[in-house]
Amino acid sequence: MTVARLIFSLLLLSVSAVATALDFKSVGATPAVLYDAPSLKGNKLYIVPRGTPLEVVLTYGEWVKVRDISGDMAWTQAKGLTPKRSVLVKVANAKVRTDADDTSTVVFSADKGVILELLEPAANDWTKVRHRDGATGFIRNSDIWGI
Protein backbone atom coordinates (compact mmCIF):
# COMPACT_ATOMS: atom_id res chain seq x y z
CA MET A 1 0.00 0.00 0.00
CA THR A 2 2.83 2.45 0.77
CA VAL A 3 4.43 1.84 -2.64
CA ALA A 4 1.13 2.71 -4.33
CA ARG A 5 0.88 5.91 -2.29
CA LEU A 6 4.43 6.85 -3.21
CA ILE A 7 3.76 6.31 -6.91
CA PHE A 8 0.52 8.28 -6.68
CA SER A 9 2.31 11.15 -4.88
CA LEU A 10 5.07 11.24 -7.49
CA LEU A 11 2.49 11.27 -10.25
CA LEU A 12 0.68 14.21 -8.64
CA LEU A 13 3.94 16.11 -8.26
CA SER A 14 4.87 15.58 -11.90
CA VAL A 15 1.42 16.70 -13.07
CA SER A 16 1.53 19.83 -10.91
CA ALA A 17 5.02 20.66 -12.20
CA VAL A 18 3.77 20.44 -15.78
CA ALA A 19 0.71 22.51 -14.95
CA THR A 20 2.84 25.34 -13.55
CA ALA A 21 5.37 25.39 -16.41
CA LEU A 22 5.06 28.68 -18.28
CA ASP A 23 5.27 28.95 -22.04
CA PHE A 24 6.48 32.32 -23.25
CA LYS A 25 6.83 33.56 -26.81
CA SER A 26 7.64 37.02 -28.13
CA VAL A 27 5.83 39.21 -30.61
CA GLY A 28 7.49 38.79 -34.01
CA ALA A 29 8.77 41.32 -36.54
CA THR A 30 5.52 43.30 -36.64
CA PRO A 31 3.33 44.47 -33.74
CA ALA A 32 0.60 42.01 -32.73
CA VAL A 33 -3.08 42.88 -32.54
CA LEU A 34 -4.83 41.39 -29.52
CA TYR A 35 -8.51 40.48 -29.78
CA ASP A 36 -11.26 39.54 -27.34
CA ALA A 37 -12.00 36.33 -29.29
CA PRO A 38 -10.03 33.93 -31.52
CA SER A 39 -11.20 35.56 -34.75
CA LEU A 40 -10.39 38.54 -36.96
CA LYS A 41 -14.05 39.46 -36.42
CA GLY A 42 -13.45 39.86 -32.67
CA ASN A 43 -13.03 43.28 -31.09
CA LYS A 44 -9.50 44.64 -31.31
CA LEU A 45 -8.34 45.33 -27.76
CA TYR A 46 -4.84 46.72 -28.24
CA ILE A 47 -1.58 46.43 -30.15
CA VAL A 48 1.57 44.95 -28.60
CA PRO A 49 4.99 46.15 -29.85
CA ARG A 50 7.39 43.75 -31.55
CA GLY A 51 9.65 41.82 -29.21
CA THR A 52 7.24 41.98 -26.28
CA PRO A 53 7.07 38.71 -24.29
CA LEU A 54 3.65 37.10 -23.89
CA GLU A 55 2.69 34.04 -21.89
CA VAL A 56 0.85 31.47 -24.00
CA VAL A 57 -2.12 30.19 -22.00
CA LEU A 58 -4.02 28.22 -24.64
CA THR A 59 -3.65 27.30 -28.30
CA TYR A 60 -6.79 27.05 -30.45
CA GLY A 61 -5.98 26.26 -34.07
CA GLU A 62 -4.14 29.25 -35.55
CA TRP A 63 -4.92 31.38 -32.50
CA VAL A 64 -3.34 31.61 -29.06
CA LYS A 65 -4.71 33.03 -25.85
CA VAL A 66 -1.98 35.07 -24.19
CA ARG A 67 -1.36 36.91 -20.93
CA ASP A 68 0.67 40.12 -20.76
CA ILE A 69 2.73 41.58 -17.92
CA SER A 70 -0.34 43.20 -16.35
CA GLY A 71 -2.19 39.87 -16.28
CA ASP A 72 -4.66 40.80 -19.02
CA MET A 73 -5.62 37.97 -21.37
CA ALA A 74 -6.48 38.23 -25.04
CA TRP A 75 -6.24 36.34 -28.32
CA THR A 76 -3.74 36.79 -31.14
CA GLN A 77 -2.75 34.91 -34.26
CA ALA A 78 -0.04 32.34 -33.58
CA LYS A 79 1.83 33.34 -36.75
CA GLY A 80 2.55 36.74 -35.17
CA LEU A 81 4.59 35.20 -32.35
CA THR A 82 8.12 33.86 -32.44
CA PRO A 83 9.88 31.34 -30.20
CA LYS A 84 12.81 33.81 -29.98
CA ARG A 85 12.59 34.86 -26.35
CA SER A 86 12.67 38.28 -24.81
CA VAL A 87 11.97 39.66 -21.35
CA LEU A 88 10.43 42.91 -20.14
CA VAL A 89 12.00 44.98 -17.38
CA LYS A 90 9.39 45.48 -14.65
CA VAL A 91 11.25 47.85 -12.29
CA ALA A 92 12.81 51.28 -12.66
CA ASN A 93 16.58 51.43 -13.06
CA ALA A 94 17.27 47.67 -13.21
CA LYS A 95 21.00 46.91 -13.18
CA VAL A 96 22.49 44.62 -15.81
CA ARG A 97 25.85 43.32 -14.59
CA THR A 98 28.93 41.62 -16.06
CA ASP A 99 28.36 38.51 -13.91
CA ALA A 100 25.47 36.93 -12.03
CA ASP A 101 26.45 38.68 -8.81
CA ASP A 102 25.32 41.89 -7.07
CA THR A 103 28.93 42.97 -6.58
CA SER A 104 29.95 42.72 -10.26
CA THR A 105 30.30 45.77 -12.49
CA VAL A 106 27.16 47.36 -13.92
CA VAL A 107 27.17 47.13 -17.73
CA PHE A 108 24.05 49.26 -18.13
CA SER A 109 20.79 50.18 -16.43
CA ALA A 110 17.43 49.44 -18.01
CA ASP A 111 14.27 51.33 -17.18
CA LYS A 112 10.83 49.85 -16.65
CA GLY A 113 9.28 48.66 -19.92
CA VAL A 114 12.56 48.04 -21.78
CA ILE A 115 12.57 44.83 -23.84
CA LEU A 116 15.73 42.71 -23.61
CA GLU A 117 16.64 39.63 -25.61
CA LEU A 118 16.92 36.48 -23.50
CA LEU A 119 20.32 34.85 -24.11
CA GLU A 120 20.47 32.17 -21.42
CA PRO A 121 17.64 30.72 -19.35
CA ALA A 122 17.24 31.82 -15.75
CA ALA A 123 19.66 30.20 -13.30
CA ASN A 124 20.44 31.02 -9.69
CA ASP A 125 18.15 34.09 -9.70
CA TRP A 126 19.91 35.65 -12.74
CA THR A 127 19.21 35.71 -16.48
CA LYS A 128 21.66 36.63 -19.24
CA VAL A 129 20.22 39.28 -21.59
CA ARG A 130 21.18 41.53 -24.50
CA HIS A 131 20.05 45.10 -25.12
CA ARG A 132 19.17 46.08 -28.68
CA ASP A 133 22.39 48.13 -28.85
CA GLY A 134 24.38 44.91 -28.31
CA ALA A 135 25.36 45.27 -24.63
CA THR A 136 25.01 41.99 -22.72
CA GLY A 137 24.98 41.05 -19.08
CA PHE A 138 23.06 39.46 -16.23
CA ILE A 139 19.88 40.80 -14.65
CA ARG A 140 18.06 39.64 -11.53
CA ASN A 141 15.03 37.46 -12.33
CA SER A 142 12.95 39.53 -9.93
CA ASP A 143 13.51 42.61 -12.14
CA ILE A 144 12.10 41.06 -15.33
CA TRP A 145 8.95 39.42 -16.67
CA GLY A 146 8.83 36.72 -19.32
CA ILE A 147 10.79 33.83 -17.85
% residues pLDDT > 90 (the chain):
82
Q: The whole model's pTM is what? A: 0.81
Ordered structural domains, the chain, with CATH: 22-82 (2.30.30.40), 86-145 (2.30.30.40)
Residue 11 clears pLDDT 90, i.e. is over it: no
The pLDDT confidence band at residue 21, using thresholds 50, 70 and 90, is low
The pLDDT confidence band at residue 22, using thresholds 50, 70 and 90, is confident
Contacts of residue 34, defined as CB under 8 A and 6 or more positions apart, other chains included, come to: 44, 45, 46, 47, 48, 66, 74, 75, 76
The pLDDT confidence band at residue 26, using thresholds 50, 70 and 90, is very high
Alpha carbon distance 147, 142 (integer Å):
10
